[in-house]
């Protein structure tokens, strides 16, 4: 025999919301600590930014392929379509410049990450940098 739906105690929503807020705060703090750890080590930050550049380059390669097709489809069209074609071509040119800049920066960061004379220089103490990350990225405190 079923006794019906089990009732929750009063205030359960408030407790759950508080628990969710605490969990979110812990996640932010984990990100702050991890970021400070990465950003205060010369090798880790060089490797991290090389990875970021590689990742953006991969995304951009796909975007460029689609952008080139769009330009090809719209080029040499008369009237208002020509204005669109010009905008698409300008966007493509800007993306290609960005791509080249990212390739150069990726290469620089990869060289720095592998440079034995530059390995593992650490900025300490790390706490002021954690505070800086909290203020600049999360606007906390």
Per-residue model confidence (pLDDT) at position 121: 85
Q: Would you state the torsion angle of the CA atoms of residues 85, 86, 91, 94, taken in this order, to the nearest 10 degrees?
A: 140
What are the residue ranges spanned by the domains of the chain? 16-40+122-141, 54-118
| Residue 125: half-sphere exposure toward Cβ, Cα within 13 Å | 3
How far is the C-alpha of 32 from the C-alpha of 26, rounded, in Å?
A: 10
Which residues does 123 contact at the CB level (< 8 Å), separation at least 6? 40, 41, 129
What does residue 116 show for φ and ψ, rounded to 5 degrees? -60, -30
CA 6/CA 125 separation, integer angstroms: 52
- Please state the pTM of the whole predicted model: 0.72
Q: Mean pLDDT per segment of 10 residues, for the chain of length 141 residues?
A: 60 62 75 94 93 97 97 94 96 98 97 82 92 86 51
User: The tokens of 68 are what?
Assistant: 């080139």
Sole residue written with tokens 């009063």: 10
pLDDT of res. 11: 66
| Residue-level pLDDT at 98 | 98
């Amino acid at each position: 025999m079923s006794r019906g739906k089990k009732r929750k105690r009063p205030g359960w929503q408030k407790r759950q919301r508080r628990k969710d807020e605490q969990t979110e705060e812990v996640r932010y703090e984990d990100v702050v600590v991890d970021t400070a750890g990465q950003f205060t080590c010369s090798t880790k930050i060089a490797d991290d930014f090389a990875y970021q550049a590689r990742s953006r380059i991969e995304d951009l390669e796909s975007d460029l392929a689609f952008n080139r097709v769009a330009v090809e489809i719209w080029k040499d069209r008369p009237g208002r379509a020509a204005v669109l074609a010009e905008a698409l071509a300008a966007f493509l040119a800007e993306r290609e410049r960005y791509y080249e800049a990212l390739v150069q920066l990726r290469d620089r960061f990869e060289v720095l990450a592998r440079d034995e004379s530059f390995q593992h220089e650490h900025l300490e103490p790390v706490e002021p940098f954690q505070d800086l990350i909290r203020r600049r990225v999360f606007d906390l405190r």
